[in-house]
Amino acid sequence: MDLRDRVFGSKLAAICETQLGENNIFTINVLGADNAGINAGDEVRIRVFKSDNQQPLRKRKSKAFTTTVLPASMAPEGMQDGPAVMMNNNIVSSMELSEGDTFLYIAVPADKLPSPSSGPVRKATQDSMAAVQDRPRDTDEFAFDDARMAVTGQVTIKSEARKALNVGQGDEVEVEVQGPDGSVTDIFRIGSGNRINLGSEQQDAVGIPKGEQGDVSVVVRIP
3-state secondary structure of 41: coil
Query: CB neighbours of 55 closer than 8 A, spacing ≥ 6?
Result: none
Structural domain ending residue among the three candidates 71, 92, 112: 112
Q: Which of 5-9, 179-183, 195-199, 204-208 has the lowest mean pLDDT?
A: 5-9
Mean pLDDT of 8-34: 77
**One domain, residues 23 and 93:** yes
pLDDT, residue 187, reads 93
This prediction's pTM: 0.47
**One domain, residues 103 and 146:** no
Is the model's pLDDT at 170 over the cut of 50? yes
Closest CA to 97 of 142, 141, 65: 65
Please write the tens of the pLDDT for every residue from 78-124.
777 888 999 988 889 989 999 999 999 988 888 776 444 334 334 43
Percentage with pLDDT > 90 across the chain = 35
Inside any domain, residue 119: no
Q: Which of 36-40, 169-173, 182-186, 213-217 has the lowest mean pLDDT?
A: 36-40
pLDDT, residue 1, reads 35
**One domain, residues 104 and 174:** no
Question: What total of structural domains would you count in the chain?
Answer: 2
3-state secondary structure of 119: helix
Residue-number span of the structural domain to which 40 is assigned:
4-112
Structural domain ending residue among the three candidates 91, 112, 133: 112
**One domain, residues 81 and 19:** yes
**One domain, residues 29 and 84:** yes
Inside any domain, residue 26: yes
CA diameter of the chain: 60
Distance between CA atoms of residues 48 and 194, nearest Å: 29
Inside any domain, residue 81: yes
- In the DSSP assignment, the letter for residue 70 is B
pLDDT, residue 178, reads 96
Inside any domain, residue 128: no
Average predicted confidence (pLDDT) for the chain: 81
CATH number of the domain where residue 87 is located: 2.40.40
